Amino acid sequence: MEEKNNMADYKNKPKDPNWVCTFQLKRNADKDPSKPETKNRPDFVLVNSEKKNKKGDFFKKNFTVHGNWCEASGYIQDDKSLKITIKKTGTIEAAPQQGNDGFMDQF
């Protein structure tokens, strides 16, 4: 059976009550094993989004977990296993509630 696009699989995940998030990693193009200065960079990083920043570089496709923006990276360990690190990069602020309190006070 031929493997289908990951997005088709993603659409089914939120129906699972245990689903938390889905993200995709790719090899880090900024890491060169032959250069010592890139040794501490992650081996895998999030894929790029379609949007660019002011410098013209693509944003990473961050994702949310329980209202927190997160970023993932992967590091190949000495035993060839993959260690994934997820860092919080921001919080989704709750929108201020607009009720009828004080409606008449504005006149």
pLDDT in tens, the chain (107 residues): 344 444 445 555 667 788 788 888 999 999 998 999 998 999 999 998 888 989 998 888 888 888 888 899 999 999 999 999 999 988 776 545 555 555 455 44
43: its two tokens: 């081996």
Please tell me whether residue 81 adopts helix, strand or coil conformation: coil
The structure's pTM equals 0.63
**Are 71 and 87 contacting, i.e. CB atoms less than 8 angstroms apart?**
yes
Query: Residue 104: how many CA atoms within 13 Å on its side-chain side?
Result: 0
Domain ranges of the chain: 28-93
Give the count of beta carbons closer than 10 Å to the beta carbon of residue 70: 17
